[in-house]
A and B are shown apart, each in its own frame.
Chain A
Amino acid sequence: MVTHAMSDPELVAAAAAGDQAAYASLVKAHVDTVYAHALRFFGNAHTAEDATQEVFLKVYRSLGSFDGRARFSTWLYRVTRNVCLDMVRAGKRTPLPVDPVTLEPLSQADFADDIAFTEALETALRALPPEEREALNAVTLFGLSYAEAGHTLGVPDGTVKSRVFRARRALASLLRDAEGGVSDGLPTRG
């Protein structure tokens, strides 16, 4: 019997033992995170859905091998990242970076609306350099620490930290521009 009190490792263990309800709980708990990452990576909802399905099938096939030494979210991030990169390497999909100039200015009233803000944010996110977007996704979407993200991305913790704050500064600037505010240009990198 699956209850909401079950932790991720408990759900994984139950799912690995054949409890389909536990697997469903895992999927429902994390599907938005994986989908959001894929959407930011590909910029296309259909491709993001394909990637998300592939991620959770890989997770399903590997449930028995998850030993709990790392957090489930860390493992899930690694699987998600690899699936997205594999889809690009296979030549089937292409990430779609968006040029900042394509951001359409939105009014102040529009930004009061969460949906409008989210749309502008998602568009601005795709304008970030891939390494900054990856670091930001790892930390903000998957909830990884700098150390966990650094381990997965193969860079020092400090690099993750600086990529995340550079991404946030860039986003703040892009969104101010999109909002119709005074444009100061992108913050200096480095």
Chain B
Amino acid sequence: MDCRRVAEIISGARDGEQVPAAEVVQAQQHCAGCAECAALLATIRRMDAVPSAQAPAALVERILAAAQAEADARLDAQAAAERTAPASGILAPLTAARPRTQRQRPAWWQPRFTAYATAAVVVLVVSAASTYTLVQMTRPMSPAPAEDSMQVASPEMFATDEAAGAADASAPAAAEDARALSAPAPAYVAWDGWVWMRVDGPAPSPSDLATAGTTVSDLGEPGGPVDRTVLTATSDRAAIYVQAADGTLMRFTRVVRTLGMREYALAADGSLATFGAWPSLPPVYATPTADDGSPTFVRQGFEDRSLDIYVPVGTDATRGFALAPGTPQGDPAAGNPYWTWWEPVD
């Protein structure tokens, strides 16, 4: 047995590797007559015996104080937002109202749909206590220009809603803020319940491609949205391909963000039939009427970019989370004026 193998055995055994007993005995015998391997064994034992560098006690106090200060600042900001701009949380979703198209859900959606539908019923019952919410719920799901939304959010609407308080005072400014946040979406298509964004990448060979389904999109071309065949490649399972009119294969990948080492992808609410259109919440979730996500969601924590995430009342982020509009530049949802839903990518 040479020194390298002995080092592997000693090192691996220390780290919990399964080593045959006979090899351990051989390694021990080797160490008895080899100064270098004996030194290695002694060093490993000594390293485990001595404590690692210890953080100064004052550092722990600083960390805890900083965390407390951050928690306090968040609470203060929340309270200030509730005091000064109650209308912003109400108007933003209204200006976000837009037509939603029904789509064919893939098979995996059916069991989820039952659960989501149940949750939606609960939310609707709770919401019935609010006159404003009732009116909101009975609005037809049809295109609503910003002016129309502004009209719906008139002071009269909030007259019987105690929670809305002085909503009318800041309504115009809030609507302006919501519009200012908006920007054209990247080149998106919707397929299989997810939003896919066009990205550059190598074109797979034709023999590697297989038809996976269809989507409706204009692909940014004249003529409007039409049915498009969606192709997948066995060599690139992270992407889908859609063929443009000139034969070019456009490559798309999911729009993702991470939360606790897990990847979450943007869920599609409809067909996203034109490039530049933004997705919003899937229809099973009522658009929140306040910045804090209520009555549909509650704030649950932060994703890896430290953005607030929201989950349906009584659940956690295991099955997904919502994100409020207004995410900063560089975020995958930057410029989207709508609430969005993100689900884990299995």
Contacts and interface: CB of A to CB of B under 8 A. Distances in A.
A64 interface: yes
Nearest to A24: B64
Contacts of A114: 49-51
A2 interface: no
Given A33-B52, A65-B317, A168-B43, A75 B260 contact: yes
A28 interface: yes
B306 interface: yes
A153 interface: no
A20 interface: yes
Contacts of A61: 70, 302, 306
A65 B70 contact: no
For chain B, the bracket of interface size reads: 35 or more
Interface stretch (B54-62, B227-235, B273-281): B54-62
B261 A70 contact: yes
Contacts of B47: 121, 140, 171
Given A32-B53, A118-B51, A141-B52, A49 B306 contact: no
Contact of B301 (A35, A65, A141): A65
Contacts of B59: 31, 35, 49, 52-53
B140 to A, nearest CB: 36
A145 interface: yes
A165 B53 contact: no
A157 to B, nearest CB: 10
Nearest to B36: A184
B50 A117 contact: yes
B67 A60 contact: yes
A114 B304 CA distance: 39
A57 B63 contact: yes
Interface centre among B11, B44, B71, B259 (most CB of A within 10 A): B11
Contacts of A92: none
Contacts of A168: 7, 10-11, 40, 43-44
B262 interface: yes
Nearest to B41: A172
Given A20-B68, A62-B301, A63-B301, A53 B53 contact: no
A39 interface: yes
A62 B60 contact: no
A67 B62 CA distance: 27
Contacts of B301: 16, 62-65
A35 B318 CA distance: 31
A120 to B, nearest CB: 10
Interface in A9-63: 16, 18, 20, 23-24, 27-28, 31-36, 39-40, 49, 52-53, 56-58, 60-63
15 contacts: A20-B64, A20-B68, A34-B55, A52-B59, A56-B63, A62-B259, A62-B302, A64-B309, A67-B317, A114-B49, A161-B8, A169-B7, A169-B40, A172-B43, A175-B39
Pairs of residues from A and B, 8 with the lowest C-beta to C-beta distance, nearest first: A64-B301, A165-B11, A35-B55, A65-B260, A36-B52, A172-B43, A65-B259, A172-B40
Interface of A: 16, 18, 20, 23-24, 27-28, 31-36, 39-40, 49, 52-53, 56-58, 60-67, 69-70, 74-75, 78, 114, 117-118, 121-122, 139-141, 145-146, 161-162, 164-165, 168-169, 171-173, 175-176, 181-182, 184, 187
